[in-house]
Amino acid sequence: MTQRERVVLARRRGARQVRTRTEVVEQTELGAALIGGLIRAQLGLALRISLVVVIGFGCLPLLFAVDPVANATVAGVRLPWLILGALAFPALYAVGHLYTRLAQRNEDDFARVVSAD
């Protein structure tokens, strides 16, 4: 009876395996670069979303300054009040939901990179 032999894929000798999770935990240069990349991605996302909100709500006074819009009424309510009262909050909720989804995607990408040992 012959004995079974276990075949294992050969590992390259002298090649350094990158253990990204360990690098992050031990706060090495690579770990700091990875965390810095996550921070930059989250900051960039926050600034872009903030810019969209500021431009969107910053244009409302210009819209309200236009005479037909400022004097228009819908169901007895002036249009500027209707826009501010009924459309602003759902818009902010939608932007917040979008931000949360995209921030979570950034964190998932980071976790995928770190766990790819």
User: In whole numbers, what is the pLDDT of the chain averaged over residues?
Assistant: 81
Name the burial class of residue 61, with classes exposed (0-12), middle (13-18) and buried (19+) by CB atoms within 10 angstroms of its CB: exposed
Q: What ranges do the domains of the chain cover?
A: 20-115
Report the share of the chain in percent with pLDDT over 70: 79
Longest dimension (CA), the chain: 97
Regions of the chain where pLDDT drops below 70: 1, 6-26, 116-117
Find the angle CA(88)-CA(89)-CA(90) to the nearest 5 degrees. 95
In angstroms, the CA 84 to CA 69 distance is 13
| Rounded-to-integer distance, Cα 20 and Cα 30, Å | 8
Q: What is the pLDDT of residues 48-82, one digit of tens each?
A: 999 999 999 998 888 888 777 778 888 888 888 88
Would you say the pTM of this structure is higher than 0.75?
no
